Amino acid sequence: MAEAKTMTLNMGPHHPATHGVLRLVLELDGETIVKVTPHIGQLHRGIEKIAESMNYQQIIPLTDRLDYTAASLNNLGYCMTVEKLLGIDVPRRAQYVRVIMGELARIMGHHLWLGSHALDMGAMTVVFYTFRDREMIMNVNEELSGYRLTPSFLRVGGIARDITPDFVKYVREFVKWLPKALDGYHTLLTDNIIWRKRTMGVGTVSARDAVNYGMTGPSLRGSGVAYDVRKALPYSSYDDFDFQVPVGENGDVYDRYLVRMEEFKQSIRIIDQAIENLPDGPVKVDNPLVSNPETDEVMQDISALIRRFKIQCEGPAVPEGEVYHSIEGSKGELGFYLVGDGTSKPYRMKIRSPCFILTSALPKLLVGHMIADVISIIGSIDIVLGEIDR
Protein backbone atom coordinates (compact mmCIF):
# COMPACT_ATOMS: atom_id res chain seq x y z
CA MET A 1 0.00 0.00 0.00
CA ALA A 2 1.35 3.36 -0.98
CA GLU A 3 2.03 5.79 1.84
CA ALA A 4 -0.40 8.71 2.00
CA LYS A 5 1.67 11.80 1.34
CA THR A 6 0.58 15.38 1.80
CA MET A 7 2.24 18.53 0.59
CA THR A 8 2.57 21.69 2.65
CA LEU A 9 2.03 24.91 0.76
CA ASN A 10 2.53 28.42 2.04
CA MET A 11 -0.08 30.77 0.73
CA GLY A 12 0.80 34.34 1.54
CA PRO A 13 1.65 36.52 3.32
CA HIS A 14 2.33 38.27 0.03
CA HIS A 15 -0.29 36.55 -2.02
CA PRO A 16 -2.37 39.19 -3.82
CA ALA A 17 -5.66 37.43 -3.13
CA THR A 18 -5.40 36.97 0.63
CA HIS A 19 -6.79 40.46 1.20
CA GLY A 20 -3.79 41.79 3.03
CA VAL A 21 -0.88 40.09 4.71
CA LEU A 22 -2.49 36.80 5.69
CA ARG A 23 -0.43 33.63 5.57
CA LEU A 24 -2.21 30.32 5.23
CA VAL A 25 -0.29 27.11 5.65
CA LEU A 26 -2.19 24.57 3.58
CA GLU A 27 -1.73 20.84 3.77
CA LEU A 28 -2.70 19.36 0.45
CA ASP A 29 -3.58 15.89 -0.67
CA GLY A 30 -3.22 16.39 -4.37
CA GLU A 31 -5.31 19.49 -4.91
CA THR A 32 -7.60 18.85 -1.98
CA ILE A 33 -7.10 20.72 1.25
CA VAL A 34 -6.80 18.55 4.33
CA LYS A 35 -5.62 21.08 6.86
CA VAL A 36 -5.44 24.88 7.12
CA THR A 37 -3.47 26.93 9.61
CA PRO A 38 -3.95 30.70 9.34
CA HIS A 39 -0.96 32.72 10.54
CA ILE A 40 -1.79 36.28 11.41
CA GLY A 41 0.04 39.21 12.97
CA GLN A 42 2.07 40.55 10.06
CA LEU A 43 0.10 43.79 10.15
CA HIS A 44 0.16 44.21 13.92
CA ARG A 45 0.58 47.84 14.91
CA GLY A 46 -0.49 47.60 18.54
CA ILE A 47 -3.47 49.89 18.16
CA GLU A 48 -5.04 48.69 21.40
CA LYS A 49 -1.83 49.41 23.29
CA ILE A 50 -1.22 52.77 21.62
CA ALA A 51 -4.76 53.74 22.62
CA GLU A 52 -3.78 53.47 26.28
CA SER A 53 -1.39 56.39 25.86
CA MET A 54 -3.79 58.66 23.98
CA ASN A 55 -6.79 60.59 25.15
CA TYR A 56 -10.26 59.56 24.11
CA GLN A 57 -10.55 62.00 21.19
CA GLN A 58 -7.07 61.22 19.86
CA ILE A 59 -7.90 57.54 19.48
CA ILE A 60 -10.49 58.19 16.75
CA PRO A 61 -7.98 58.28 13.85
CA LEU A 62 -6.50 55.00 15.09
CA THR A 63 -9.87 53.31 14.66
CA ASP A 64 -10.02 54.43 11.02
CA ARG A 65 -7.06 52.15 10.43
CA LEU A 66 -8.80 49.00 11.63
CA ASP A 67 -11.12 48.12 8.80
CA TYR A 68 -9.85 50.88 6.54
CA THR A 69 -12.28 49.90 3.79
CA ALA A 70 -15.16 51.22 5.89
CA ALA A 71 -13.46 53.71 8.18
CA SER A 72 -16.44 55.75 9.42
CA LEU A 73 -18.11 52.65 10.85
CA ASN A 74 -15.11 52.07 13.11
CA ASN A 75 -15.32 55.69 14.25
CA LEU A 76 -18.99 55.15 15.02
CA GLY A 77 -18.40 52.02 17.07
CA TYR A 78 -15.63 53.64 19.07
CA CYS A 79 -17.37 56.97 19.66
CA MET A 80 -20.58 55.27 20.76
CA THR A 81 -18.64 53.18 23.26
CA VAL A 82 -17.04 56.24 24.83
CA GLU A 83 -20.42 57.97 24.85
CA LYS A 84 -21.87 54.98 26.66
CA LEU A 85 -19.12 55.29 29.28
CA LEU A 86 -19.85 59.01 29.57
CA GLY A 87 -23.59 58.40 29.65
CA ILE A 88 -24.41 60.98 27.00
CA ASP A 89 -26.71 60.98 23.99
CA VAL A 90 -25.66 62.78 20.84
CA PRO A 91 -28.14 65.13 19.14
CA ARG A 92 -30.41 63.61 16.50
CA ARG A 93 -28.90 65.54 13.62
CA ALA A 94 -25.48 64.14 14.48
CA GLN A 95 -26.95 60.64 14.73
CA TYR A 96 -28.41 60.95 11.24
CA VAL A 97 -25.17 62.25 9.74
CA ARG A 98 -23.36 59.39 11.46
CA VAL A 99 -25.82 56.93 9.91
CA ILE A 100 -25.25 58.45 6.46
CA MET A 101 -21.48 58.30 6.86
CA GLY A 102 -21.66 54.79 8.27
CA GLU A 103 -23.81 53.46 5.47
CA LEU A 104 -21.64 55.17 2.86
CA ALA A 105 -18.66 53.47 4.49
CA ARG A 106 -20.48 50.13 4.37
CA ILE A 107 -21.10 50.61 0.65
CA MET A 108 -17.46 51.59 0.22
CA GLY A 109 -16.40 48.40 1.97
CA HIS A 110 -18.73 46.31 -0.17
CA HIS A 111 -17.44 48.03 -3.31
CA LEU A 112 -13.91 47.02 -2.44
CA TRP A 113 -15.05 43.51 -1.54
CA LEU A 114 -17.01 43.04 -4.79
CA GLY A 115 -14.26 44.41 -7.01
CA SER A 116 -11.43 42.45 -5.45
CA HIS A 117 -13.47 39.28 -4.91
CA ALA A 118 -14.31 39.13 -8.60
CA LEU A 119 -10.81 40.20 -9.59
CA ASP A 120 -9.26 37.43 -7.48
CA MET A 121 -11.34 34.90 -9.37
CA GLY A 122 -10.46 36.27 -12.77
CA ALA A 123 -13.45 38.53 -13.51
CA MET A 124 -11.44 41.65 -14.06
CA THR A 125 -14.17 43.95 -15.39
CA VAL A 126 -16.06 44.34 -12.14
CA VAL A 127 -13.33 46.15 -10.25
CA PHE A 128 -13.31 49.05 -12.71
CA TYR A 129 -17.00 49.72 -12.16
CA THR A 130 -16.96 49.34 -8.40
CA PHE A 131 -13.92 51.56 -8.05
CA ARG A 132 -15.53 54.15 -10.31
CA ASP A 133 -18.50 54.33 -7.95
CA ARG A 134 -16.38 54.06 -4.82
CA GLU A 135 -14.72 57.26 -5.99
CA MET A 136 -18.04 59.09 -5.56
CA ILE A 137 -18.09 58.18 -1.86
CA MET A 138 -14.46 59.24 -1.55
CA ASN A 139 -15.52 62.63 -2.90
CA VAL A 140 -18.26 62.86 -0.31
CA ASN A 141 -15.72 62.10 2.41
CA GLU A 142 -13.34 64.66 1.00
CA GLU A 143 -16.01 67.33 0.86
CA LEU A 144 -16.92 66.73 4.48
CA SER A 145 -13.61 66.09 6.16
CA GLY A 146 -10.77 66.65 3.71
CA TYR A 147 -9.82 62.97 3.87
CA ARG A 148 -10.93 60.48 1.29
CA LEU A 149 -10.36 57.05 2.82
CA THR A 150 -10.10 57.74 6.55
CA PRO A 151 -12.38 60.68 7.32
CA SER A 152 -12.12 60.62 11.16
CA PHE A 153 -15.08 62.94 11.03
CA LEU A 154 -16.90 61.60 14.05
CA ARG A 155 -16.15 62.87 17.51
CA VAL A 156 -16.99 61.72 20.97
CA GLY A 157 -20.22 63.65 21.51
CA GLY A 158 -21.20 64.20 17.89
CA ILE A 159 -19.46 65.05 14.67
CA ALA A 160 -16.61 67.45 13.98
CA ARG A 161 -18.76 70.18 12.41
CA ASP A 162 -22.03 70.63 10.61
CA ILE A 163 -22.44 69.25 7.09
CA THR A 164 -22.22 71.45 4.01
CA PRO A 165 -24.84 71.93 1.24
CA ASP A 166 -22.42 70.26 -1.17
CA PHE A 167 -22.36 67.18 1.02
CA VAL A 168 -26.14 66.85 0.70
CA LYS A 169 -25.86 67.39 -3.06
CA TYR A 170 -23.19 64.72 -3.52
CA VAL A 171 -25.02 62.21 -1.34
CA ARG A 172 -28.25 62.74 -3.30
CA GLU A 173 -26.40 62.26 -6.57
CA PHE A 174 -24.91 59.05 -5.26
CA VAL A 175 -28.25 57.73 -3.96
CA LYS A 176 -29.70 58.33 -7.41
CA TRP A 177 -26.80 56.74 -9.20
CA LEU A 178 -26.01 53.59 -7.25
CA PRO A 179 -29.16 51.51 -8.08
CA LYS A 180 -28.32 51.88 -11.79
CA ALA A 181 -24.72 50.90 -11.18
CA LEU A 182 -25.91 47.95 -9.10
CA ASP A 183 -27.86 46.61 -12.05
CA GLY A 184 -24.63 46.73 -13.97
CA TYR A 185 -22.79 44.69 -11.31
CA HIS A 186 -25.56 42.10 -11.41
CA THR A 187 -25.29 41.82 -15.20
CA LEU A 188 -21.62 41.04 -14.88
CA LEU A 189 -21.80 38.34 -12.22
CA THR A 190 -25.14 37.11 -10.88
CA ASP A 191 -26.14 34.99 -13.87
CA ASN A 192 -22.62 34.50 -15.14
CA ILE A 193 -22.17 30.76 -15.57
CA ILE A 194 -18.50 30.77 -14.58
CA TRP A 195 -19.20 32.85 -11.49
CA ARG A 196 -22.02 30.54 -10.46
CA LYS A 197 -19.89 27.43 -10.96
CA ARG A 198 -17.05 28.88 -8.91
CA THR A 199 -19.27 30.01 -6.04
CA MET A 200 -22.30 27.78 -5.70
CA GLY A 201 -21.85 24.95 -3.22
CA VAL A 202 -18.41 26.23 -2.32
CA GLY A 203 -17.47 27.12 1.27
CA THR A 204 -20.82 26.04 2.61
CA VAL A 205 -21.40 26.62 6.29
CA SER A 206 -24.59 25.70 8.09
CA ALA A 207 -26.46 28.19 10.23
CA ARG A 208 -25.57 26.18 13.32
CA ASP A 209 -21.86 26.10 12.53
CA ALA A 210 -21.83 29.76 11.60
CA VAL A 211 -23.33 30.72 14.95
CA ASN A 212 -21.03 28.36 16.84
CA TYR A 213 -17.97 29.83 15.18
CA GLY A 214 -19.14 33.32 16.16
CA MET A 215 -19.47 34.47 12.58
CA THR A 216 -21.40 37.72 12.19
CA GLY A 217 -22.39 40.13 9.48
CA PRO A 218 -23.12 39.17 5.87
CA SER A 219 -21.12 35.95 6.30
CA LEU A 220 -23.56 34.80 8.99
CA ARG A 221 -26.64 36.05 7.16
CA GLY A 222 -25.59 34.12 4.06
CA SER A 223 -26.34 30.99 6.10
CA GLY A 224 -29.86 32.18 6.80
CA VAL A 225 -29.50 33.72 10.27
CA ALA A 226 -31.17 37.14 10.25
CA TYR A 227 -28.96 38.70 12.91
CA ASP A 228 -28.10 42.31 12.34
CA VAL A 229 -27.10 44.58 15.25
CA ARG A 230 -28.90 47.47 13.58
CA LYS A 231 -32.18 45.57 13.99
CA ALA A 232 -31.43 43.50 17.07
CA LEU A 233 -30.12 46.33 19.26
CA PRO A 234 -30.85 49.54 17.34
CA TYR A 235 -28.39 52.38 17.94
CA SER A 236 -27.85 55.85 16.49
CA SER A 237 -31.52 56.22 15.41
CA TYR A 238 -31.51 53.08 13.23
CA ASP A 239 -35.04 52.31 14.43
CA ASP A 240 -36.21 55.43 12.57
CA PHE A 241 -35.42 53.87 9.22
CA ASP A 242 -37.25 51.30 7.18
CA PHE A 243 -34.90 48.63 5.83
CA GLN A 244 -34.65 44.87 5.54
CA VAL A 245 -32.01 42.40 6.58
CA PRO A 246 -31.30 40.18 3.58
CA VAL A 247 -30.51 36.52 4.31
CA GLY A 248 -29.30 33.63 2.20
CA GLU A 249 -30.32 29.96 2.25
CA ASN A 250 -27.40 27.69 1.52
CA GLY A 251 -24.55 29.46 3.28
CA ASP A 252 -22.21 29.12 0.32
CA VAL A 253 -20.05 31.72 -1.39
CA TYR A 254 -22.81 32.60 -3.83
CA ASP A 255 -25.36 33.30 -1.07
CA ARG A 256 -22.93 35.50 0.80
CA TYR A 257 -22.42 37.34 -2.49
CA LEU A 258 -26.17 37.82 -2.92
CA VAL A 259 -26.58 39.05 0.67
CA ARG A 260 -23.96 41.75 0.18
CA MET A 261 -25.42 42.73 -3.17
CA GLU A 262 -28.77 43.24 -1.45
CA GLU A 263 -27.09 45.18 1.37
CA PHE A 264 -25.99 47.78 -1.18
CA LYS A 265 -29.67 48.43 -1.86
CA GLN A 266 -30.70 48.51 1.79
CA SER A 267 -27.89 50.90 2.65
CA ILE A 268 -28.99 53.21 -0.13
CA ARG A 269 -32.53 53.08 1.27
CA ILE A 270 -31.27 54.08 4.70
CA ILE A 271 -29.14 56.91 3.31
CA ASP A 272 -32.06 58.17 1.26
CA GLN A 273 -34.35 58.27 4.29
CA ALA A 274 -31.70 59.88 6.46
CA ILE A 275 -30.74 62.64 4.05
CA GLU A 276 -34.35 63.53 3.24
CA ASN A 277 -35.48 63.59 6.89
CA LEU A 278 -32.33 65.17 8.30
CA PRO A 279 -33.41 66.94 11.53
CA ASP A 280 -32.24 70.43 12.36
CA GLY A 281 -30.31 71.25 15.48
CA PRO A 282 -26.84 71.01 16.96
CA VAL A 283 -24.32 68.39 15.90
CA LYS A 284 -22.46 68.17 19.18
CA VAL A 285 -23.69 67.23 22.61
CA ASP A 286 -24.22 70.19 24.90
CA ASN A 287 -21.79 69.09 27.58
CA PRO A 288 -18.95 71.44 28.55
CA LEU A 289 -16.76 68.55 29.67
CA VAL A 290 -16.86 66.76 26.32
CA SER A 291 -17.60 69.08 23.41
CA ASN A 292 -15.22 71.62 22.07
CA PRO A 293 -16.66 75.13 22.14
CA GLU A 294 -17.06 77.02 18.87
CA THR A 295 -14.13 79.13 17.70
CA ASP A 296 -16.13 82.38 17.97
CA GLU A 297 -16.71 81.69 21.64
CA VAL A 298 -13.09 80.75 22.22
CA MET A 299 -11.94 84.08 20.82
CA GLN A 300 -14.11 86.01 23.26
CA ASP A 301 -14.81 83.98 26.35
CA ILE A 302 -12.10 82.83 28.74
CA SER A 303 -14.15 79.91 30.03
CA ALA A 304 -14.57 78.61 26.47
CA LEU A 305 -10.85 79.02 25.90
CA ILE A 306 -10.04 77.08 29.04
CA ARG A 307 -12.46 74.33 28.04
CA ARG A 308 -10.92 74.05 24.59
CA PHE A 309 -7.44 73.99 26.12
CA LYS A 310 -8.37 71.24 28.54
CA ILE A 311 -10.30 69.15 26.02
CA GLN A 312 -7.63 69.46 23.35
CA CYS A 313 -4.59 69.04 25.54
CA GLU A 314 -5.84 66.64 28.16
CA GLY A 315 -8.92 65.11 26.61
CA PRO A 316 -12.53 64.99 27.72
CA ALA A 317 -13.35 64.11 31.30
CA VAL A 318 -14.39 60.46 31.24
CA PRO A 319 -15.51 58.67 34.40
CA GLU A 320 -14.28 55.39 35.81
CA GLY A 321 -15.97 52.25 34.59
CA GLU A 322 -16.00 49.54 31.98
CA VAL A 323 -18.27 49.34 28.99
CA TYR A 324 -18.87 47.30 25.85
CA HIS A 325 -20.74 48.44 22.81
CA SER A 326 -21.07 46.90 19.40
CA ILE A 327 -22.37 48.03 16.05
CA GLU A 328 -22.97 46.38 12.74
CA GLY A 329 -19.75 46.93 10.84
CA SER A 330 -19.46 46.17 7.17
CA LYS A 331 -17.85 42.80 7.98
CA GLY A 332 -19.87 41.88 11.05
CA GLU A 333 -20.39 42.80 14.66
CA LEU A 334 -17.71 45.33 15.56
CA GLY A 335 -17.40 45.77 19.30
CA PHE A 336 -15.30 47.95 21.55
CA TYR A 337 -14.57 47.21 25.17
CA LEU A 338 -13.24 50.11 27.18
CA VAL A 339 -12.05 50.41 30.75
CA GLY A 340 -11.86 53.96 32.02
CA ASP A 341 -9.87 54.74 35.14
CA GLY A 342 -11.14 58.28 35.65
CA THR A 343 -8.34 59.88 33.62
CA SER A 344 -8.64 61.20 30.09
CA LYS A 345 -6.96 58.08 28.69
CA PRO A 346 -8.46 54.60 28.61
CA TYR A 347 -6.94 52.01 30.91
CA ARG A 348 -7.65 49.31 28.34
CA MET A 349 -9.26 49.15 24.93
CA LYS A 350 -10.16 45.82 23.37
CA ILE A 351 -11.62 45.51 19.93
CA ARG A 352 -13.98 42.68 19.07
CA SER A 353 -12.96 42.29 15.47
CA PRO A 354 -15.47 40.46 13.26
CA CYS A 355 -12.73 39.61 10.76
CA PHE A 356 -10.59 37.93 13.40
CA ILE A 357 -13.44 35.60 14.26
CA LEU A 358 -14.25 34.97 10.61
CA THR A 359 -10.62 34.01 10.06
CA SER A 360 -10.84 31.48 12.86
CA ALA A 361 -13.67 29.83 10.91
CA LEU A 362 -11.51 29.56 7.76
CA PRO A 363 -10.30 25.98 8.41
CA LYS A 364 -13.93 24.89 8.78
CA LEU A 365 -14.81 26.53 5.48
CA LEU A 366 -11.76 25.41 3.52
CA VAL A 367 -11.11 21.76 4.41
CA GLY A 368 -12.27 19.40 1.70
CA HIS A 369 -12.19 21.99 -1.04
CA MET A 370 -9.81 22.37 -3.96
CA ILE A 371 -6.92 24.78 -3.67
CA ALA A 372 -8.48 27.15 -6.22
CA ASP A 373 -11.49 27.57 -3.94
CA VAL A 374 -9.33 29.15 -1.22
CA ILE A 375 -9.43 32.41 -3.10
CA SER A 376 -13.15 32.36 -3.55
CA ILE A 377 -13.81 31.49 0.10
CA ILE A 378 -11.43 34.10 1.54
CA GLY A 379 -13.06 36.67 -0.72
CA SER A 380 -16.54 35.64 0.39
CA ILE A 381 -15.96 36.16 4.11
CA ASP A 382 -14.49 39.58 3.27
CA ILE A 383 -11.71 39.88 5.83
CA VAL A 384 -9.52 42.93 6.32
CA LEU A 385 -6.17 42.27 7.92
CA GLY A 386 -5.92 45.76 9.34
CA GLU A 387 -8.67 44.76 11.73
CA ILE A 388 -7.49 41.22 12.44
CA ASP A 389 -3.97 42.21 13.43
CA ARG A 390 -4.84 45.66 14.84
Please spell the DSSP secondary structure of 226-263, one letter per residue. ---HHHHS--TTGGGS-------SS-SHHHHHHHHHHH
For the chain, the distance separating the N- and C-terminal CA atoms, rounded to the nearest angstrom, is 48
With binding defined as CB under 8 A, does residue 302 bind another protein? yes
Helix ranges (DSSP H) in 121-190: 125-145, 165-189
Question: What's the min distance (Å) between Cβ of 311 and another protein?
Answer: 8
* Span near another protein by CB under 8 A; candidates 3-11, 90-98, 181-189, 296-304: 296-304
Question: What's the min distance (Å) between Cβ of 130 and another protein?
Answer: 45
∠ CA(28), CA(33), CA(36), 5° rounding? 95
> Going by C-beta distance under 8 Å and a sequence separation of 6 or more, which residues neighbour residue 118?
124, 125, 126, 127, 188, 189, 195
Of 298 and 371, the one with the shorter C-beta distance to another protein is 298
Question: What's the min distance (Å) between Cβ of 289 and another protein?
Answer: 6
Q: Which of 245, 289, 367, 370 binds another protein (CB under 8 A)?
A: 289
H/E stretch holding 146 reads none
Q: Which of 65, 307, 345, 352 binds another protein (CB under 8 A)?
A: 307
Question: What's the min distance (Å) between Cβ of 86 and another protein?
Answer: 13
Provide the Cα torsion 64, 149, 354, 356; round to 10°: -80
With binding defined as CB under 8 A, does residue 303 bind another protein? yes
Q: Is the peptide bond before 151 cis (omega within 30 degrees of 0)?
A: no
Question: What's the min distance (Å) between Cβ of 287 and another protein?
Answer: 8
Question: What's the min distance (Å) between Cβ of 87 and another protein?
Answer: 14
Q: Which of 13, 214, 293, 321 binds another protein (CB under 8 A)?
A: 293
With binding defined as CB under 8 A, does residue 305 bind another protein? yes
Q: Which of 306, 322, 342, 372 binds another protein (CB under 8 A)?
A: 306
* Span near another protein by CB under 8 A; candidates 60-68, 205-213, 305-313, 325-333: 305-313
Three-class HEC string of 342-379: CCCCEEEEEEECHHHHHHHCHHHHHCCCECCHHHHHHH
Of 224 and 282, the one with the shorter C-beta distance to another protein is 282
Q: Which of 31, 89, 166, 314 binds another protein (CB under 8 A)?
A: 314
| Binding interface with another protein (CB under 8 A) | 287-289, 293, 297-307, 309-310, 313-314, 317
